[in-house]
């Protein structure tokens, strides 16, 4: 699954959640706002920062469930703020004309499934990222250098 498809999945999840404020939004607009929120400088999804942020904020078990094949653990709107930062969430909300509370709720609903889909199955984004750094061994070497 490529990045734009993944962002559209996130857009559909946000559009289809239970908040009336999000149901009238355009999936493409939501996908664009998600790309700005979760993207890196190279036009890709910054899963590394996302996973790292979850781990650093004591949310490792939650992210582990998103990366695994089992059921995805939920994340609260306040934990979304801890993870992404209030500035980024405010920008996301502003881009879509949402309140900050609606944005946090929508992200809490969608983010577990977006990460799960990005990291599951054959040809996942994780496989693509690992290939760029020389496979799992290359990723471990990179991590080792970070903690020396």
Q: Is residue 137 part of a domain?
A: no
Whether 93 is in a domain gets the answer: yes
CATH of the domain at 95: 1.10.10.690
Q: What is the three-class DSSP state of 42?
A: coil
- Is 97 contained in some domain? yes
Within-domain flag for 102:
yes
For residue 134, pLDDT over 70 is answered with no
The answer to whether 10 and 114 are in contact (CB under 8 A) is yes
How far is 30 from 52, CA to CA, in rounded Å? 24
Q: Please indicate, yes or no, if residue 147 is contained in any of the structural domains.
A: no
Q: Which domain holds residue 15?
A: 3-122
pLDDT of residue 133: 47
- Total domains in the chain come to 1
| Closest of 125, 106, 126, 91 to residue 10, by C-alpha | 106
Looking at residue 63, its pLDDT comes to 76
Does 55 have pLDDT greater than 70? no
In a domain, 94, yes or no: yes
d(C-alpha 97, C-alpha 30), whole Å: 11
Query: Is the per-residue pLDDT at 146 higher than 70?
Result: no
Q: Model confidence over 66-109: pLDDT tens digits? A: 876 788 889 999 999 988 889 999 999 999 999 999 999 999 99
Q: Confirm whether 11 is domain-assigned.
A: yes
């Amino acid at each position: 699954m490529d990045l734009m498809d993944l962002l559209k999945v996130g857009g559909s999840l946000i559009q289809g959640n239970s908040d009336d404020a999000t149901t009238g939004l355009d999936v493409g607009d939501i996908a664009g706002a998600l790309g700005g929120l979760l993207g890196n400088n190279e036009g890709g999804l910054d899963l590394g920062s996302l996973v790292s942020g979850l781990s650093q904020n004591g949310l490792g078990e939650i992210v582990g469930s998103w990366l695994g094949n089992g059921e995805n653990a939920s994340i609260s709107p306040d934990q979304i703020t801890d993870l992404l930062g209030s500035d980024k969430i405010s920008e996301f909300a502003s881009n879509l004309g949402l309140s900050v509370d609606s944005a946090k709720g929508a992200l809490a609903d969608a983010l577990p499934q977006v990460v799960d889909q990005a990291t599951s199955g054959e040809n996942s984004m994780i496989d693509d990222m690992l290939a760029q750094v020389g496979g799992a061994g290359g990723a471990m070497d990179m991590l080792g250098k970070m903690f020396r």
